[in-house]
Each structure stands twice: as C-alpha cells, then as structure tokens.
C-alpha cells in the first residue's frame, strides 16, 4: 500500500513538473498567451501538497527547478522558484490551515510581486537597483506599445487633445507600476484561492479531506487610516511622497475591491438573485472602470455601514 502510494506520488510529481515546464516554455511561442498561462504554474504544486503532503510539493519544485536550469539556465530556475515556487508553498499552507482568505491572498500577492521584481532584477543584472530594473521593464513595454500603434497606422502622439499623452502615460506607469503589479497579484491570488476552494469542495477526499470554511473577506477597520494617510501623501504634490501615496492607494483599492466583491457575493446569496445577473455584473466590471471603483467604494465604506450585517433579518425584539 505504501509502495503504491509512493508510485502514485512520483508519477504526479513528474507530471506536474512536465506540465509547468511546458506552460513556461509556451511563452517563447505565444508571448502574450504564455504570460497568462504561466500564472497557472503554482496550481499543480498546491494540489500535490494537498494530496501527498509537503514531500510531494518539495520534490515537484526541485524537479521543475532542475529541469528549467538544465534546459535554459540556472537563473531561469531561480526565477521560477522566486516567482511561483514560494507563492505555491504559502498558498498550500494557507489552505491546509484554513487561514483567513485576506491574509492568504495578500501574502501570495506580496510574494508574486517580490518574485516578479526579483526576476526583472535577475534578468537585467541589477540586484542592487531593483527599481531601475522595474523602470527598464516599463520602458520596454511602452516601446512595444508605441511600435504596435505605429504598425496599426496610429500616431504615437495622437490628435491635439491627446498630444503628449504617451509621455504622460510613461510618467504615470513608472510612478505607479509597483502598486499596479501588486494589484494584479491580488487578483491572481484571489483567483487561485477561489478556484482551489471550489476543487476542495468538489473532491474533498482526494484533496486532503479538507472542509474550507465559508468565504468571508473582512479587512481590519484600522486600515482605513492607511488609506487616508496615502491620500494625504498623494495630495502633497512632492515627488517621492506622491509616488508612495499613489502606490499605497492602488494597493488598498485592490484590497477594498475584493472586499466589495465579497459583499456583493454575500448579498447575491442572501437575496437569492439569479446567477445570470451575477455573471452579467462581472462582465460589466471588466468593461466599466467606474463600476470597479464603485465596488471598491462599497468595500471601503463597509467599515462604517457593515452591509452584510445590515442585510440580515432582525429578530422581533430588536428595533
């Protein structure tokens, strides 16, 4: 029985390593699609941890790192560990310990961000100046965007009302890129958690026999003072305080956006609204930035209004 279990674990470890190496290699053939596919890399390792414990996770990470180092370079193997290996470990342990979702998501997003910055610094040989590596990456992205607009027959400067818009965009992106990077990590990590929780609920016996508690995202009330302080820093107009304030605002808006989504999901379940309406609401969020800010505002004002408690029916003795 033990022998069969080790054979099954070994086969799944090899399969996970092959899948992840293949997904990462797809980036050379499909640059844009490969980036999105590479974000799925932590999931096989988390599933191995849930099925076979930490030895399965450690073996799969080691095998994948060695394979990437042999096929490409040692730096590529280290980059994989930084960007996807460490988040996979934290995500797996957070699910096994039934940690609060906001703690797991924020921690995984932080590791994704630090890993991404580390990869950029590793690729540009600028370990002592990681922000310079980030700036170089943003400049390369903007150069690709300008080349794309020229190939499409569009002017890089645009019509007179948009004159100099590319230069303004460059300035804003260089200032806000760390916060945007972290916000993207938040959305990615929350997608991981929701997807894995759905798998655990569907196949609990095969995934460690876990029973995830009801999903509830609730940020500390004191965090609102960080939001106010970041707004004050941004309004100073001074270069460094303004940059710090802008990035903190972006990060906190991402956190409050997820809290707003949690409140919306609770209200949809509470009032038994049709799933079609929920699907249409999510599609609107993708195409209407104003609605995204509105959802983040709901999450922020939940500190004062407690929307989830207000929606619950009151007992006859309460007024």
Give me the pLDDT at residue 318, please: 44
Q: What percent of the chain is modeled with pLDDT above 70?
A: 82
Give me the pLDDT at residue 161, please: 43
Per-residue pLDDT at 40 exceeds 50: yes
Coil, helix or strand at residue 221: coil
Cα separations in angstroms, 228 against 48, 175, 253, 260: 42, 19, 12, 18
* pLDDT tens, residue by residue, 72-88: 888 888 889 988 999 99
Domain count, the chain: 1
Per-residue pLDDT at 106 exceeds 80: yes
**pTM, rounded to two decimals:** 0.85
* pLDDT tens, residue by residue, 201-232: 999 988 888 888 878 888 998 999 999 999 99
For residue 124, being part of any structural domain is answered with: yes
For residue 46, being part of any structural domain is answered with: yes
Q: Choose among 59, 90, 98: nearest CA to 208.
A: 98
Q: How confident is the model at residue 115 (pLDDT cuts 50, 70, 90)?
A: confident
> Domain span at residue 181?
2-215
Give me the pLDDT at residue 202, please: 92
For residue 233, being part of any structural domain is answered with: no
Query: Rounded to an integer, what distance in angstroms lies between the CA atom of residue 319 and that of residue 147?
Result: 64
* pLDDT tens, residue by residue, 149-195: 666 665 545 444 444 566 677 778 788 888 999 999 999 999 999 99
Give me the pLDDT at residue 230, please: 96
For residue 181, being part of any structural domain is answered with: yes
For residue 244, being part of any structural domain is answered with: no
Give me the pLDDT at residue 153, please: 60
Of 17 and 1, the one with more pLDDT = 17
Per-residue pLDDT at 259 exceeds 70: yes
Give me the pLDDT at residue 2, please: 58
User: Which residues does 296 contact at the CB level (< 8 Å), separation at least 6?
Assistant: 253, 254, 256, 257, 260
For residue 235, being part of any structural domain is answered with: no
Query: Rounded to an integer, what distance in angstroms lies between the CA atom of residue 298 and that of residue 217?
Result: 13
For residue 309, being part of any structural domain is answered with: no
Mean pLDDT of all residues in 52-70: 92
Mean pLDDT of all residues in 294-308: 84
What average pLDDT is seen over the chain?
83
Q: How confident is the model at residue 319 (pLDDT cuts 50, 70, 90)?
A: very low
Cα separations in angstroms, 99 against 41, 49, 91, 96, 193: 22, 16, 10, 8, 11
How many other β-carbons are positioned within 10 Å of the β-carbon of residue 83?
25
For residue 311, being part of any structural domain is answered with: no
């Amino acid at each position: 029985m033990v022998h069969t279990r080790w054979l099954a674990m070994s086969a799944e470890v090899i399969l996970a390593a092959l899948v992840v190496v293949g997904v990462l290699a797809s980036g050379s053939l499909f640059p844009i699609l490969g980036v999105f596919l590479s974000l799925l890399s932590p999931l096989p390792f988390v599933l191995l941890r849930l099925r076979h414990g930490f030895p399965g996770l450690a073996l799969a990470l080691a095998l994948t790192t060695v394979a990437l180092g042999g096929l490409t370079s040692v730096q590529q193997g280290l980059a994989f560990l930084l960007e996807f290996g460490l988040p996979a470990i934290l995500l797996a342990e957070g699910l096994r310990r039934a940690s609060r979702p906001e703690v797991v998501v924020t921690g995984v997003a932080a590791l994704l961000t630090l890993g991404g910055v580390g990869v950029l610094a590793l690729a540009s040989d600028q370990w002592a100046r990681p922000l310079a590596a980030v700036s170089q990456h943003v400049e390369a992205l903007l150069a690709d965007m300008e080349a794309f607009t020229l190939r499409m027959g569009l002017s890089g400067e645009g019509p007179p009302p948009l004159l100099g818009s590319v230069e303004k965009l460059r300035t804003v992106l260089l200032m806000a890129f760390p916060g945007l990077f972290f916000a993207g990590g938040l959305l990615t990590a929350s997608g991981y958690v929701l997807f894995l929780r759905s798998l655990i609920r569907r196949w609990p016996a095969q995934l460690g026999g876990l029973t995830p508690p009801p999903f509830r995202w609730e940020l500390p009330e004191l965090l609102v003072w960080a939001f106010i302080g970041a707004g004050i820093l941004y309004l100073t107009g001074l270069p460094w305080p303004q940059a710090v304030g802008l990035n903190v605002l972006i990060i906190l808006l991402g956190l409050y956006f997820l809290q707003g989504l949690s409140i919306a999901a609770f209200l949809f379940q509470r009032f038994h609204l049709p799933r079609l309406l929920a699907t249409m609401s999510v599609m609107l969020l993708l195409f209407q930035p104003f609605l995204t800010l509105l959802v983040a505002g709901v999450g922020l004002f939940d500190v004062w209004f407690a929307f989830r408690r207000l929606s619950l029916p009151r007992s006859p003795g309460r007024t």
